[in-house]
């Protein structure tokens, strides 16, 4: 690993991010990353956060057109309420704040606590839950579906709407709709090594893969012998379409888990597009790259989001963040 010691990985990352991105305010001590022009008068503030290790999610999405602030926790660990309260206060112009919360017990508990505390400080807080992962079956008897790739769609589209000056209720409502219109499925070709553990979190022999993985290095639902890119696309896209059943065009995110080369991700995208075409589903827009990662995990995920004209327009709207930049 490219680290000094495990204890300083997050602090080191924040310091490096601050140096590379002077357009952001990086508070390494209190662990928050805020857009420099916050609070933006009349606009809803968009705050998210989660464990570190998924970069660029979320700090890489802070900037005009997307997040107002991000709260990084320890590696794979939900951030603490203190961070989100500080962030909410920093980005609230009086128009209120929307918390984008990935559906993990820790994230939900900490963001819920933070929302209460922020309200005590006079900030109006709404929350949207992201729970797009279809791999977790029988979600009634589990902690529910995980928040994965759709987080990017929610943050981009809600961020664009917030930048247009829409009120909190509308931003919350649209964010919810984006989540409900999105489904994801992920696959791991290798395990992940966290700084704290120093060795892979689970044993995945070469020649085998894990289907239905999340982004925190936990084992997936099922292990199988290695499949080709085309076979993986057949399986993953099928799993998503069976659940989403889109009746119109979709946004496509082909996301790398961190260690899979971009060349392979693009090849995988070719297969994803083939399956979509075979199933008569139109890809309105496609994004390929490492966006919702899991440290050094080899693997990928597919997220599809059924969109209407407004959502496509907001997807196309200008954005200026470390990880996504277009339209300006």
Partner 1 sequence: MLDTDFFRRWMAATAAAVGREADRLTELDAAIGDADHGSNMRRGFAAVDEVLEKEGPTAPGDVLTLAGRQLISTVGGASGPLYGTLLRRTGKALGDAQEVTADQLADALGAGVAAVAQLGGAQAGDKTMLDALLPAVEVLGTSFVEARDAALAGALATVPLRARKGRASYLGERSIGHQDPGAASAALLVGALAEASGTSGGGDA
Site residues (CB under 8 A) for partner 1? Answer: 6, 51, 73-82, 104-106, 109-110, 113, 135-138, 141-143, 146, 194, 196-197, 201-202, 214, 216-219, 221
Minimum distance of partner 1 from residue 77's CB (angstroms): 4
Q: Which is nearer to partner 1, 110 or 293 (CB)?
A: 110
The answer to whether the CB of 190 falls within 8 A of the CB of 299 is yes
CB of 68 or CB of 77, closer to partner 1:
77
Compare residues 1 and 277 and give the one whose CB is closer to partner 1. Answer: 1
Half-sphere exposure in the Cβ direction for 37 (13 Å, CA):
14
Angle at 169 between CA 166 and CA 174, to 5 degrees: 75
Half-sphere exposure of 285 (CA within 13 A, CB side): 15
Tokens of 90: 């920093």
Task: Provide the H-helix boundaries in the chain.
Answer: 9-20, 81-91, 105-120, 150-163, 168-180, 229-244, 262-278, 309-316
User: CB-wise, 73 or 249, nearer to partner 1?
Assistant: 73
Rg (CA), the chain: 19
**Helices and strands: H and E segment counts in the chain:** 8, 14
Question: Are the beta carbons of 298 and 190 closer than 8 angstroms?
Answer: yes
Structure tokens given for 190: 């290798």
Report residue 290 as tokens: 């490492």
d(CA 75, CA 275): 35
Q: Give Dmax (Cα) for the chain.
A: 55
The total number of residues shown for the chain amounts to 328
Q: How far is the CB of 110 from partner 1 (least distance, A)?
A: 6
The torsion angles phi and psi of 187, rounded to 5 degrees, stand at: -135, 140
Q: In this complex, which beta carbon is closest to partner 1, that of residue 201 or of residue 293?
A: 201
Catalytic residues: 54, 216
């Amino acid at each position: 690993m490219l680290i000094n010691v495990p204890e300083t990985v997050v602090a080191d990352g924040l310091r490096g991010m601050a140096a590379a991105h002077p357009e952001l305010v990086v508070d390494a001590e209190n662990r928050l990353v805020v857009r420099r022009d916050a609070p933006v008068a009349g606009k809803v503030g968009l705050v998210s956060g989660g464990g570190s290790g998924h970069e660029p999610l979320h700090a890489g999405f802070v900037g005009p057109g997307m997040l107002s602030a991000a709260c990084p926790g320890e590696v794979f660990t939900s951030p603490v309420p203190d961070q989100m309260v500080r962030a909410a206060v920093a980005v609230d112009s009086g128009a209120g704040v929307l918390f984008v919360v990935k559906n993990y017990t820790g994230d939900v508990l900490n963001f819920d606590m933070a929302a209460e505390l922020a309200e005590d400080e006079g900030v109006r807080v709404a929350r949207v839950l992201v729970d797009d992962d279809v791999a977790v079956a029988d979600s009634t008897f589990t902690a529910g579906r995980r928040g994965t790739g759709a987080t990017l769609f929610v943050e981009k589209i809600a961020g664009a709407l917030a930048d247009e000056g829409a009120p909190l209720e509308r931003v919350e409502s649209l964010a919810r709709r984006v989540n409900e219109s999105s489904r994801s499925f992920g696959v791991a070709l290798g395990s992940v090594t966290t700084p704290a553990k120093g060795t892979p979190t689970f044993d995945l022999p070469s020649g085998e893969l894990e289907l239905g993985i999340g982004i925190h290095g936990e084992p997936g639902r099922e292990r199988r012998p290695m499949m080709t890119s085309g076979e993986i696309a057949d399986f993953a896209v099928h799993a998503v379409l069976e659940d989403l059943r889109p009746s119109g065009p979709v946004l496509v995110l082909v996301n790398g888990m961190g260690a899979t080369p971009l060349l392979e991700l693009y090849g995988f995208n070719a297969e994803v597009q083939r399956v979509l075409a075979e199933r008569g589903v139109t890809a309105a827009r496609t994004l390929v790259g490492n966006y919702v990662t899991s440290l050094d995990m080899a693997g990928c995920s597919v997220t599809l989001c059924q969109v209407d004209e407004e959502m496509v327009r907001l997807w196309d709207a200008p954005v200026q963040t470390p990880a996504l930049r277009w339209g300006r």
